[in-house]
Amino acid sequence: MINILVVEDNAKLRQLIGTVLAKHGYNPVPAEDGQHALELLDTQIIDLIISDIMMPNVDGYELIVRLRDAGYNTPVLMVTAKESFEDKQRGFLAGIDDYMVKPIDVNEMILRVGALLRRAKIVSERRLVIGEVVLDYDSLTVHRGDLSALLPQKEFYLLYKLLSYPNKIFTRQQLMDEIWGMDSETDARTVDVHINRLRERFKDYPEFDILTVRGLGYKAVKQP
């Protein structure tokens, strides 16, 4: 499921946005301000961020600057009452991808969320293409030329997540929470077992490698 971080200090609006997102099949992750958002980003995999600007502790501008400086390429939709050109310019220079002025039309918001996700190649036609390799999300299948490999569900989701964010480091716990669920009692070392299986299965594929980042976790690297 696509996780969308909703960063909004107004509890009613935060709940409304979350309800609309859930109705359209997304998983909303609420945060009351930028500081709370940063804490959540350390523990969960987020596919898109919807953020207010004017918030206590860490405001929207600072949140986006800190994320971009840290290498996060997660799409960001800014939702705010600030509507001047200068405010929009500051947002885009900070690294946002789209901008909506309050009061927002939630139906338009859903359209913009879908467009941002398509641009980020996270959902679109639910296929991921890396060179000659094609990952088909709905069939859990990896194609390369005339070869096709049907993967166990968890292995496929793990590979799909890593390749959706090349060069991004995921901790074992992040991957565990995303793919096995936050309430799972399975040991996080299970991730290691699945990573080793993927490496063995695709060791002859030149398009990508799955690397261990010592002390942190794993990342996928696309090869030129």
User: What are the extents of the domains in the chain?
Assistant: 3-119, 127-222
pLDDT at 223: 84
In contact, 137 and 128? CB cutoff 8 Å: yes
Task: Please report how many Cα atoms fall inside a 13 Å half-sphere around the Cα of residue 96, on the Cβ side.
Answer: 24
The pLDDT assigned to 31 comes to 95
Is the distance from CB of 218 to CB of 212 less than 8 angstroms? yes
Q: What is the pLDDT of residue 91?
A: 87
pLDDT of residue 7: 96
- Whether domain 3-119 has CATH 3.40.50.2300: the reply is yes
Q: What is the pLDDT of residue 182?
A: 61
Which of 154, 151, 161, 153 has the alpha carbon at shortest distance from 128? 161
Q: Tens-of-pLDDT digits for all 224 residues of the chain?
A: 789 999 999 999 999 999 999 999 899 999 999 999 998 987 777 889 999 999 988 999 999 999 888 777 889 999 988 878 888 888 888 899 999 998 989 999 999 998 898 877 655 457 888 999 999 988 999 999 999 999 999 999 999 989 988 888 888 888 887 788 766 677 778 999 999 999 999 999 999 999 999 988 999 998 87
- Does this model's pTM top 0.75? My answer is no
Q: What is the model's pLDDT at position 121? A: 64
Q: What is the per-residue pLDDT for 52? A: 93
**Per-residue confidence (pLDDT) for residue 49, from 0 to 100:** 96
Give CATH for domain 127-222. 1.10.10.10
Residue 146, pLDDT score = 92
Q: Which of 49, 31, 48 is nearest to 40 (CA)?
A: 31
Nearest to 30 by CA among 65, 39, 75: 39
